[in-house]
Chain A
Amino acid sequence: MNLIKSLKKFNYEKYGPLIALAVLFIISAITSPYFLKTRNLLNILRQVSYTGIIGLGMTFVIIGGGIDLSVGSMTALIGGLTILVLNSAGGGVGAIVLAILVAVLIGAAVGAANGIVITKARVAPFIVTLGTMAIFRSLTLYISGAGEFRSTSNIYPELGMGSFLEIPIPVWIFGILAFVSWLILNHTRYGRYICAVGSNEKVADYSAINVNRVKFISYIIVGIATAITAVLLSSRLNSISSSNAGVNYEMDAIAAVIIGGTAMSGGSGTIIGTVIGAIILGIVNNMLNMLGVSPYLQGTVKGLVIIGAVLIQRKKK
């Protein structure tokens, strides 16, 4: 009886994603002996880092009541431009630093462009970013002549391929950015304001919060996060395919946020949830591969996981 009572009182909202991850982890460990190998686990983490980093930025946008569908195309565009800068600057260490800086600036700028249209022209975020999704992809194809951006640097790949203390560099960056995002969301004014704006814009407005600026900044945040992913992705491959890079990244990033318990309607959410959401998606992919499920069916499973996660979260309330 007591157990049932304490189960009822249990805060599913807070720990739901974590429990799902634990269950998935245990099932995977039992089904496949290879799953628990350090190499495999690190591989999963590295794979989820790219969309996970975008997911961190996306968490702010969604909490604020918005959405950004353009991040996938944005990844390709910024990745391509980064390689162009890198090549023209010579491909050395200095060139890499310069390329990264330019990438982050471009990310902030295109995020700001999304944000300006959404807040100033008052067009729905879904529409604006659906439009820029097409624009960014088309620009990428145009610049590259629908081909590939190839880096001429031979040290650039070390960023995306390399490891530090046995852990891949993208995973480090994902971890550090997750910490910074957590800090911003839970311990700064901005974090509180984005929650207020997403909960009730009018209350925020009357509480002396500049609603438009808060929303605008959230699109810059996701732009910067996307830029970092673009750098990591382009350095891992030492190239960017104008037609394939970043395809469906927006889906994976949004899915990570939603599986992590952030409501699509905005108002509240957690960074740790998004991290867990990204990892859940990664493990699912990994297991499907190891179990030999057709890659064409993997999307079906991913879709079911997303819908299932939202259903479970709704039930708790």
Chain B
Amino acid sequence: MQISRRRFALMTGSAGVAPFAAGAEPLTAEAVIRRIQAELGGDWPSTGPDGFKAGAPSTVVNGIATTAIATLDVLKQAAKANANLVLTYEPTYYGRADGQGQAASAAGRGPAGPGADDVVISGKREFIENHGLVVFRLRDHWQARKESDMVTGLAGALGWSKHRVKSDNGLYEIPPATAEATVALIRGKLKLRGGLRAVGDRKAMVRRILLHPGVMTPATMWQRYSTVDLIVAGEVREWENTHYAADIFVAGEKRTLVTVGRVVSEEPGMRVCAEWLKTLVKEVPAMWIGAGDPYWRPSS
């Protein structure tokens, strides 16, 4: 195990920063998680979303990968990089139940969804087992950190860190630009494909921006939209926030709502998480793996 850790360190160019003291206890996934839990604090109830989702907690950790969502492609990259503990913000097994217990019902509107013997679910499980991976969901406790890394991470990815308005975490004041130009910048910085969608006034000048990674509720939209020129959110429901933005456009207010996709909006915050882990777990390397924009659209 020691050799593979050293090899990993060499591969990632971090050789020498993570010495493994001779005779020290091997670092297990459980030990890493205990350290994270102690540092972040709070309660970690077994009924909450945060917790082990796959693999044995007693596994010796060679490296840690953080990601917004542990897709199979992300896990393949983690295995290749010898990062066998994966911390994911979103579920691994396709829903809030996350492979543990019954998935929520489909409310009578179609199939119940894949069963436990489903070929995709078993394929993913097998990959995790064959590569000795451990997957832990870290969402609520990371999001709750007072540093608001999910927001500051997104601001950093957009190049707006220095434009932060001190009194408010989500509020940024950028040099004035049209909504159209701002959306083009967002598309480029976040490497968006089909996931980027905008509603509102594309010619309006944008200065004040609210960053809201993840899901934005109608209540937040109603309270904040008229105080800013543009909102960047992860996802909203179309029949709620999207049409609030469409109605305000018809009413003559010059604002824009941009949604970039839930996962894409959460990726920068999990990149910050990897940097934070490097200060907390020095024995093994930590890295961030992006899942990318899942959406595309035909060109014609």
Q: Do A and B come from one complex?
A: no
Residues of A within 8 A of B (CB): none
